[in-house]
Amino acid sequence: MAVSSSFSLFILFLVFAFAATAPMGKDYIVGGKPDAWKVPSSESECDSLNKWAEGVRFNVEDHLIFTYEAGKDSVFEVSKENYVSCNTSSAIKKYNDGKTKVRFDFSGPYYFISGEKGHCEKGEKVTVVVISQRSIVSPSPSASPASAPVAPVQGPAVAPSPKSSANVLQGGGVLMAMGVVVAAMCFF
């Protein structure tokens, strides 16, 4: 009896110890494949990065990885306004090393565009919304003091992107409306 209960305590301890030392963040390759960070080759691919991102639950401490040819492309983290207008002139962060690994330190929306001339306008951009599931657990040892309030880096933590699928889904001509929206977003 005593043996069995201390044994289950030991198991319990192991479970907690494992949970505490388990890797904290997951790595995601943008678009789910290594060559996805590029100008979409067709209108049907135009919004594919955002479609992919909408299907992923990003957490604080996860990483987003962009792979591309160094020097030929880049990744700029920008504000929502600059994401929408493809304005590369005041990026929050710029990367052009070919294998960019972005760590999400805060919950909220993140906006990434290509820094190359014309690429963002043609659809090389992605929005990611990070949730703060881990904020209910004890603070991570690597967290910086400044990270205490879980606030978005920039802008209010509102809808992930300007388009709302709820609006589009009502009424007829759904596909047509979506086609127009996508085409307008990529090749205006």
Site of interaction with ligand NAG (CB under 6 A): 85, 87, 89-90
- In angstroms, what is the minimal distance from the CB of 88 to ligand NAG? 8
- In angstroms, what is the minimal distance from the CB of 162 to ligand NAG? 16
Complex with ligand NAG: residue 90 or 167, whichever CB lies closer: 90
**Which contacts (CB < 8 Å, 24+ apart) does range 86-91 have?**
86/113, 86/120, 86/121, 86/125, 88/113, 88/115, 88/120, 91/115
Contact 61, 101 (CB under 8 A): no
Complex with ligand NAG: residue 86 or 182, whichever CB lies closer: 86
- In angstroms, what is the minimal distance from the CB of 117 to ligand NAG? 12
- In angstroms, what is the minimal distance from the CB of 173 to ligand NAG? 32
Complex with ligand NAG: residue 90 or 164, whichever CB lies closer: 90
Please tell me the distance from the alpha carbon of residue 159 to that of residue 152, in angstroms, as a whole number: 13
Residue with tokens 């504000």: 79
Length of the chain: 188
- In angstroms, what is the minimal distance from the CB of 118 to ligand NAG? 13
Complex with ligand NAG: residue 51 or 94, whichever CB lies closer: 94
User: Residue 117: CB partners within 8 Å, gap ≥ 6?
Assistant: none
Determine phi and psi for 70, rounding to 5 degrees: -60, 135
Complex with ligand NAG: residue 44 or 90, whichever CB lies closer: 90
User: Residue 132: CB partners within 8 Å, gap ≥ 6?
Assistant: 59, 60, 106, 107, 150
Residue of this chain nearest to ligand NAG (CB atom): 87
